[in-house]
């Protein structure tokens, strides 16, 4: 079953169907699947009007690893407030596992992909760069089954669901367990993919605990599953951001800047009127309005303020260290940040909007 975001305008990307069905986990690796994907037709560099605006709406193919509020709040606000339209772009959003996004970005079958897949891809030598991130830290909340877990130590030996091996949710889960005095290697990790599957596992009683983003965590809490800890102060690294292939950044410079401008305007609106922003997200996604309103402050609590949309050098280095420490092929290697991050367009758009850049990487 497909899960498509934004019921009227944002759809699953048909061209990516061969890579991964929208909202479905990728098939098991095989010799046939190992061959390179056919690259999408390379778009010609965009021609600008004398005033610098794009002549006609340009489609931006964007993927998120989950349709939870951390991603859908800024995207839906930027869409519904008309910021994308004013930038001359038409954003198409699909839910796709991080590993599939990495391959799609490398093969130019996707324009913008998640920050985690960009860090992994860049670490392995791909020409992809991280360009924007709304959150300075992780925002996972550990929810447990009270019938199986009375104290945190009860988690040892029990199944704990994760969304993917080695992704930010997995690493945040391990950090939370360690902070609770539970050996992260003492639990049985079950890779169930998107939050909907992990919620189902919790409700069925098959899973003892899982770390979720705010809105699915609150959804479970309302069904009697307590939240016992979160990762906000334990696992500090950029979250919920996006990156692109270097060729896309060169060929679609105006489109990238237009998208960044729309997203930054969306973040500013969220900060100025969080209640209205929550209502917009609830309407756009079909999520329960009360849950969204309760989750929105938790989402905003992880939002960067001094460098809206950006990150500090330390935060970026920590993000890459987590990637290399958890990838046997990359363990012990170091990468200069200019091979991973390209904030030039972000910094230009921040200046145009009068947004300060305090302590951020590549601030001029």
Domain containing residue 299: CATH number: 3.40.190.10
For the chain, counts of helices (H) and of strands (E): 13, 10
Rounded-to-integer distance, Cα 219 and Cα 165, Å? 24
**Could you tell me if 213 and 141 are in contact, meaning their C-beta atoms sit under 8 angstroms apart?**
yes
Same domain, 80 and 182: no
Q: What is the mean pLDDT of the segment spanning 17-22?
A: 30
Asked if the model's pLDDT at residue 131 lies above 60, the reply is: yes
Rounded-to-integer distance, Cα 175 and Cα 179, Å? 6
Do the domain assignments include residue 76?
yes
Least confident stretch, 23-37, 117-131, 214-228, 329-343: 23-37
Across the beta sheet with 141-144, the strand order is: 188-191, 159-162, 209-212, 141-144, 227-230
Same domain, 117 and 168: no
Rounded-to-integer distance, Cα 237 and Cα 298, Å? 16
| HEC secondary structure over 67-87 | CCHHHHHHHHHHHHCCHHHHC
Q: What is the mean pLDDT of the segment spanning 299-309?
A: 90
Do the domain assignments include residue 3?
no
Cα–Cα distances in Å, from 217 out to 51, 172, 222?
46, 14, 9
Rounded-to-integer distance, Cα 243 and Cα 176, Å? 27
Q: Look at residues 344, 318, 342, 363 and name the one whose alpha carbon lies nearest to residue 128.
A: 342
**Could you tell me if 140 and 213 are in contact, meaning their C-beta atoms sit under 8 angstroms apart?**
yes
Provide the pLDDT for residue 209: 98
Same domain, 107 and 251: yes
Rounded-to-integer distance, Cα 285 and Cα 220, Å? 18
Do the domain assignments include residue 267?
yes
Do the domain assignments include residue 306?
yes
Phi then psi for residue 187, to 5 deg, are: -100, 165
Asked if the model's pLDDT at residue 97 lies above 90, the reply is: no
Hey, CA dihedral for 338, 106, 94, 117, is it positive or negative? negative
Same domain, 249 and 121: yes
Provide the pLDDT for residue 141: 97
Do the domain assignments include residue 6?
no
Asked if the model's pLDDT at residue 201 lies above 50, the reply is: yes
Q: What is the mean pLDDT of the segment spanning 20-26?
A: 34
Same domain, 182 and 120: no
- The tally of domains found in the chain comes to 2
Q: Among residues 201, 230, 259, which one ends one of the domains?
A: 230
Q: Among residues 187, 213, 230, which one ends one of the domains?
A: 230
Does this model's pTM top 0.85? My answer is no
Range of the domain at 25: 14-137+238-353
Same domain, 223 and 263: no
Same domain, 195 and 340: no
Same domain, 246 and 107: yes
The tens digit of pLDDT for each residue in 31-60 reads 323 323 233 334 444 544 545 554 678 999
- How much of the chain exceeds pLDDT 70, in percent? 85
Q: What is the mean pLDDT of the segment spanning 76-97?
A: 95
Same domain, 244 and 222: no
Provide the pLDDT for residue 49: 52
Q: What is the mean pLDDT of the segment spanning 214-219?
A: 95
Provide the pLDDT for residue 330: 80
Same domain, 307 and 331: yes
pLDDT higher at 119 or 263: 263
Rounded-to-integer distance, Cα 143 and Cα 166, Å? 19
Do the domain assignments include residue 218?
yes
Asked if the model's pLDDT at residue 327 lies above 90, the reply is: no
Same domain, 125 and 250: yes
Provide the pLDDT for residue 7: 38
pLDDT higher at 186 or 166: 186
Provide the pLDDT for residue 152: 97
Same domain, 114 and 218: no
Q: Among residues 230, 265, 288, which one ends one of the domains?
A: 230
Provide the pLDDT for residue 33: 30
Q: What is the full DSSP assignment across 292-320?
A: HHHHHHHHHHTB-STTTT---HHHHHHHH
The tens digit of pLDDT for each residue in 133-182 reads 999 999 999 999 999 999 999 999 999 999 888 778 888 999 999 999 99
What rounded mean pLDDT belongs to the chain?
85
Q: Quickly state the pLDDT bin for 333 (edges 50, 70, 90).
A: confident
Do the domain assignments include residue 1?
no
Do the domain assignments include residue 358?
no
């Amino acid at each position: 079953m497909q899960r498509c975001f934004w019921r009227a305008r944002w759809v699953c990307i048909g061209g990516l169907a061969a890579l991964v069905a929208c909202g479905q986990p990728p098939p098991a690796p095989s010799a046939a699947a190992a061959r390179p994907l056919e690259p999408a037709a390379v778009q010609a560099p965009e021609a600008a009007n004398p005033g610098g605006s794009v002549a006609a709406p340009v489609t931006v193919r964007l993927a998120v690893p989950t349709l939870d509020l951390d991603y859908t709040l800024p995207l839906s606000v930027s869409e519904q407030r008309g910021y994308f339209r004013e930038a001359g772009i038409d954003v198409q959003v699909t839910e796709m596992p991080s590993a599939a996004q990495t391959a799609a970005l490398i093969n130019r079958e996707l324009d913008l992909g998640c920050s985690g897949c960009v860090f992994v891809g860049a670490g392995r030598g791909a020409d992809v760069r991280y360009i924007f991130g709304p959150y300075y830290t992780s925002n996972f909340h550990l929810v447990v089954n009270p019938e199986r877990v009375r104290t945190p130590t009860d988690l040892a030996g029990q199944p704990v669901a994760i969304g993917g091996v080695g992704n930010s949710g997995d690493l945040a889960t391990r950090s939370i367990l360690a902070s609770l005095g539970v050996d992260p290697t003492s639990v049985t990790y079950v890779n169930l993919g998107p939050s909907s599957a992990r919620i189902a596992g919790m409700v069925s009683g098959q899973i003892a605990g899982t770390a979720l983003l705010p809105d699915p965590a609150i959804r479970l809490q309302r069904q009697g599953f307590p939240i016992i800890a979160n990762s906000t102060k334990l696992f500090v690294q950029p979250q919920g951001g996006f990156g692109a292939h270097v060729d896309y950044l060169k060929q679609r410079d105006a489109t990238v800047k237009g998208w960044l401008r729309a997203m930054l305007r969306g973040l500013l609106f969220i900060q100025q009127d969080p209640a209205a922003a929550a209502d917009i997200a609830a309407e756009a996604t079909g999520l329960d309005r009360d849950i969204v309103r309760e989750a929105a402050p938790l989402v905003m609590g992880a939002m960067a303020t001094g460098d809206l949309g950006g990150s500090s050098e330390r935060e970026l280095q920590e993000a890459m260290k987590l990637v290399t420490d958890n990838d046997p092929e990359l363990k012990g290697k170091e990468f200069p940040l200019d091979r991973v991050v390209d904030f030039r367009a972000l910094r230009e758009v921040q200046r145009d909007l009068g947004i300060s850049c305090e302590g951020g990487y590549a601030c001029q």
